[in-house]
Structure 1
Amino acid sequence: MLGLTFDKLLVIAVIAVFVVGPQRLPAYAAKLAHVVRALRDMANGAKDRLRDEMGPEFDDVDWQKLDPRQYDPRRIIRDALFDDESAPSVAVVRPPSTESASVKRSRQMADGAPTPFDSEAT
């Protein structure tokens, strides 16, 4: 549930009591409950409408396959470009260096090597 643990919810509730005040807190809690109930009803209504429009195929859909968290663009491109037999092995990619460009440049110049020059640069 969005990474909220019981401890975090308790801290939020205590802060709400101090910020809102004990007199107005029940009214705000009722409004929050009403909003949550309305959102849940909208989600259920959308699901029911989708079920009505799709018909019996709605129950046959594999929802795990459509989960966006399983989206892997590397796999999709590899499957599109290569056959199953000729798929290349996965290369290990090193993370980018954390050094800044000025640190790298000063290290290169300290070695006594000439400063790199690109004649085509503007």
Structure 2
Amino acid sequence: MFPNISFMDLLTLAILAVVLFGPDKLPEVIQNVVGFLRKVREFSESAKQEVRSELGPEFEDFEFEDLHPKTLIRKHVLDGDALGVDEIRRALDPRAELSEVSDAVLGAADDRRDAASAERRTPLPEETVDGPDAHAAFDPDAS
């Protein structure tokens, strides 16, 4: 009912209730509050039943929770396919195109890897082969 109330909040409220009402009157106050909440709940249920009966027999299964905007959209737009939502979702889904592109990129990478391994197998001419002491020049300002 109150999802944002922590244990410390409840403990603080309990201590405050004991201090305000005292341990002798606290059970009586709790009974009065619970009785009041029951009456409010009964009143709201009778009001809902009265509205349903006034709307007629075609609205007997009407739920007031369905009037919440999130529930209304979820129930009538997202779940139902009367508006062609599934077809629109499939048309706007980029997964098929992305998988084609990734397959093409992976295929090109495999082709390059095969070409690079074929180049490594062929012997290099003697004038292009550097000795084991040759190093490439490093320029720290190049980046």
The structure showing larger relative contact order (alpha-carbon pairs under 8 Å, at least 6 residues apart) is 1
Give the structure-2-normalised TM-score: 0.40
For normalisation by structure 1, the TM-score amounts to 0.46
Q: Which one has the bigger helix percentage?
A: 2
Q: Which protein is bigger by CA-based radius of gyration?
A: 2
